[in-house]
Structure 1
């Protein structure tokens, strides 16, 4: 059977963007699939020490074919133009986007993506046949030329070459990471997600936190460099506190500076515990629309009180940073400018309601001075127009 049902979910996802550009696409059958999302978390800052290192613009080859010289000449799956990751990974593919450079896999590529599984929309994950696969990531010139039209010399810079096992029906997040500041070795981080298997309330917003930075990143970071951003480097162990906001950047009563998690640097690919906050934290609401909202997460060295005011311009030497999410959150060090349709609380026309608010499942990952969010969307009923 052709996977034409994928078109339906792409169009539902596109409804979040006012039904932008959905079109029918027939996909080849994927037998016994696993579900995979891939991010390129390599962000080299050019210095005198690494000026000759290959830049982090990649081609992903799954089950590559190599010639006698070890240069790729084909692959079972080719995902080209994999650029560095963006700060917000939305929960659905943008079916109307024709961008060539990709922020993640499956990105905007017209490939089969996941269905609804246990109430969670996996349309942000590509389908891949389960089993053992060889993954190769090759650095390539930043151009619009397809990978296999490049010269052999431009196709020989193999950055990662690893064989991994993908189990049927499982959901995976893959990051291409630098393992160590000292060795500059790059590798694959593969985490088997569990959100489809554990009981999560639809009235709570869930988040877990990871510091996936390179070994030695915090210890060797040079504070006070000319033109350096303030408070983007944090220590290897931090406590995380959150504050919820409603209209006009007003803190929600009872939800200021609450401890939510400890975040310890590790590239061990285990799922970290989820913490949560209420979908409807403001008393007296209608339980349908949460209103415009925002969240701010403060990351503090253990022992520092959560209300300690560093400010955005005072360098804390790795003891503080913050992440602001959504339209009502005050400015932080890292700012994810999500709106009510793309933040940690998604409000969208659904059923007879316009809008209706839905909780999400989120992952916050800190990697070498960058903060990233991946949002997972719950299934919602399509709108009913009277």
Structure 2
């Protein structure tokens, strides 16, 4: 008890010293009655081609219930989400993954914003969703320069270029994900897609991992000429896009230390059909979740597992048994694309492969006396104009015991 008290006093003294020498910063939170919970992704990507060099950089400030002056220029807003950059390939669960970037650029909202966030609902930590007013809200996305100057400190002429100005209707205590999307690749028409999530309402098992799929690409993307698309080897077979209807097949691999699509798979989980995905940027329907057991491997001990996942997308009529393309092909006319989910998503396969690399759908983290322990998750895989994005949601877990 004396040792504990001394440690607490030492921390208190250190904190006071830092405050006296650096100044005290107090965060003022505005209480929101009957909030809804909102997460926002900017899916507009930078495409560096000769034909796009003069396009505006899709770097935004989000304004909810803005106040405008007589010239229509925003002067304040009830909620501000500034420096909204293009989204990262991986939107991890919180707090099992914590970002270390010091940049003001925000890959999502709320992201780095210090705002009131969602609670724990049905065991899911909604810290990645911000509290916003429910009911009808006016929402704007304004272009802003790619610098570090806060939006309302910019000169007026830099605050009047508005991409989207619309009204959303949010129900109290519901969970929403909002996407800025390109709707048509030829006309460059953009818009929003608001999805009301249901994962927190479903009777999900702790021993199953869940995933659903969306193709939110612009109309006409995969048919467009290659010269109009980004060149990025990390996009692998998705670089040219995928066709508007695809069937998804799951393979589960035994061991993340053997990173090859030819490695041993778990019995019953080699090219197993799990879902159909169609192009959709118009309706907000939630895609059905499919699942697989986290303890499917014969080598698991019920505490941790080392397996990883592969998703193959084929046009209807094709699967891994009648695939006419070779293993490392990445130009398949949109007929076959693949995703490998393994380790932290920053490793490469041991042999040539046509797959985009994303993090493992299973989260391994120190919890209780187990370091690590494997947790099931709820995941969403979204394809947007050749980019593949993974969002992972995790249940609240017991803190580590050292």
**CA displacement at 1:325 relative to structure 2:** 1.0
**CA displacement at 1:275 relative to structure 2:** 0.7
* Paired residue secondary structure (1:148): helix
Seen in structure 2, the aligned counterparts of structure 1 residues 141 and 310 have a Cα distance that, compared at 3 Å, is farther
Instruction: Tell me which residue corresponds to 2:398.
Output: 381
* Paired residue secondary structure (2:250): strand
1:205 to 199, 206, 209: 209
Note if 1:243 corresponds to 2:258.
Answer: no
* Correspondences of 1:258-277 after superposition (within 5 Å): 258-267=272-281, 268-277=283-292
Q: Distance in 1 between matches of 2:377 and 2:155?
A: 44
Instruction: Tell me which residue corresponds to 2:375.
Output: 358
Seen in structure 2, the aligned counterparts of structure 1 residues 95 and 51 have a Cα distance that, compared at 3 Å, is closer
**Contact kept in structure 2, 1:310 and 1:316, CA below 8 Å:** no
**CA displacement at 1:353 relative to structure 2:** 2.1
Seen in structure 2, the aligned counterparts of structure 1 residues 62 and 52 have a Cα distance that, compared at 3 Å, is same
Q: For 1:240-264, what per-residue CA distance to the aligned partner results, in whole angstroms no more than 9, with x for missing partners?
A: 1111122224422321111111110
Seen in structure 2, the aligned counterparts of structure 1 residues 159 and 205 have a Cα distance that, compared at 3 Å, is same
Q: Distance in 2 between matches of 1:145 and 1:24?
A: 21
Instruction: Tell me which residue corresponds to 1:150.
Output: 154
**CA displacement at 1:70 relative to structure 2:** 1.5
Instruction: Tell me which residue corresponds to 2:338.
Output: 322
Q: Distance in 2 between matches of 1:223 and 1:213?
A: 17
Q: For 1:130-153, what per-residue CA distance to the aligned partner results, in whole angstroms no more than 9, with x for missing partners?
A: 121111001111111111122222
More deviation in 248-257 or 236-245?
Answer: 248-257
Q: For 1:226-283, what per-residue CA distance to the aligned partner results, in whole angstroms no more than 9, with x for missing partners?
A: 9575522111111111111222244223211111111100121110100111111113
* Paired residue secondary structure (1:219): coil
More deviation in 138-147 or 49-58?
Answer: 49-58
Seen in structure 2, the aligned counterparts of structure 1 residues 352 and 84 have a Cα distance that, compared at 3 Å, is same
Q: Distance in 2 between matches of 1:202 and 1:312?
A: 36
Instruction: Tell me which residue corresponds to 1:140.
Output: 144
**CA displacement at 1:284 relative to structure 2:** 5.6
**CA displacement at 1:347 relative to structure 2:** 1.6
TM-score by length of 1: 0.86
* Correspondences of 1:1-386 after superposition (within 5 Å): 27-92=29-94, 94=98, 98-222=102-226, 229=233, 231-232=237-238, 233-247=241-255, 248-249=258-259, 250-267=264-281, 268-283=283-298, 285-290=300-305, 292-307=306-321, 308=323, 309-327=325-343, 330=349, 331-336=353-358, 338=359, 343-385=360-402
**CA displacement at 1:48 relative to structure 2:** 4.4
Structure 1: unaligned runs, 5 residues or longer? 1-22
Q: For 1:76-131, what per-residue CA distance to the aligned partner results, in whole angstroms no more than 9, with x for missing partners?
A: 11111111011000111637654310000111111111121011111111111212
Structure 2: unaligned runs, 5 residues or longer? 1-24
Q: For 1:185-239, what per-residue CA distance to the aligned partner results, in whole angstroms no more than 9, with x for missing partners?
A: 2111100000111111111100000001112222224379895755221111111
